[in-house]
Amino acid sequence: MRRYTVVQVDAFTTTPLRGNPCAVLPDARGLSDAEMQAIAREMNLSETAFVFPSAQRKADFRFRYFTPATEIPLAGHPTISTAHVLVEEGRVKLADGKATFMMELNVGVLPVEITGREGNVTRVVMTQKKPEFGRTFEHSEVAPVFGLSVGDLDARFPPQVVSTGTPQLMILVKSLDVLKRIRADAHALEELCRRGEFFSAHLFCLGGLAPNADTHARHYAPEAGIAEDPFTGSASGGMGAYIVHHGILSGPRFHIEQGHLCGRPGEGDVEVIGPRENIQTVKVGGPAVTVMRGELIL
């Protein structure tokens, strides 16, 4: 029998049972692709993270992320969760309350920055890839998929596919009330994802429940086996890039909310680096908390 440590972490929160849960296997050596996919189905969370040694000299670890249905190239809350676990496991050491390491993902090698206090992680920040701005959609193509009217979407800005490693459709709606009224049609969204060649959809408004919130969002990825994702770090990066690119807010930093409307409130921060016409990268950060430790026996 093979035994693997599994740690479940709630990301983008400091309170257990909030934010976005992720299962992390801090030493996944020996697992095949098929086994990792089967484990992700078993965990039944939006993502499960697997840590391997990296074959690249410039990377410290290799991370792979699986939803219950497929592997994805870049994700936010698994990165926050995995970095948190690696510090707890003693595999990343804080020096003067800080640490930086390089992670190898399927999209390349990117830095992760950690801050902490008394040996405990207080914040993890991931750098995402230079944003790519893709196809735009008519409001009339998008609104019915979510049970909304064209008038519920902000007519000034087109729904657009943005990728900082994972292509996702950004949709700006007029208010928090509109987000509350979303009733996503999973089959229609799957078809839109296939036709538009993007992974998932991120709907957001300006402002939020807290006075300091710049945005509030909801996220849907039906092809990945995710009805609604509580807090989506990769899409938060794409959202920040979209906001700056279209001049919606000047930035460069935003405080963001997600998950409150599906019972798992989370908060984080986005920093967009570079001018709106040539954004260089996006950073997404937040806290995490460990809620469960166990052993997987295969």
Active site residues: 47
Residue 152, classed as helix, strand or coil, is helix
Contact at 8 Å (CB) between 143 and 149? yes
**Residue 252, preceding peptide bond in cis (omega within 30° of 0):** yes
Which string of DSSP letters, residue by residue, matches 164-225? SSSEEEEEEBS-HHHHHT----HHHHHHHHHHHT-SEEEEEEES-SSTT-SEEEEEEEGGGT
Evaluate whether 40 touches 68 at the Cβ level (below 8 Å).
yes
Pairing assessment for the beta strands 20-25 and 47-52 based on DSSP bridges: parallel
Q: Is residue 256 within 8 Å of residue 213, measured between CB atoms?
A: yes
What are the tokens at 111?
């830095």
d(Cα 56, Cα 53) in Å, to the nearest integer?
A: 9
Cα–Cα distance list, 247 to 128, 176, 241, 250, 251 (Å):
20, 20, 10, 6, 9
- In a 3-state reduction of DSSP, which class is residue 235? helix
Q: Supply φ then ψ for residue 177, to 5 degrees.
A: -60, -40
For residue 130, give both structure tokens. Answer: 């230079």
Structure tokens at 49: 């993270």
* Residue 262 neighbours by CB distance under 10 Å: 14
Take residue 162 and report the two structure tokens written for it.
Answer: 């943005």
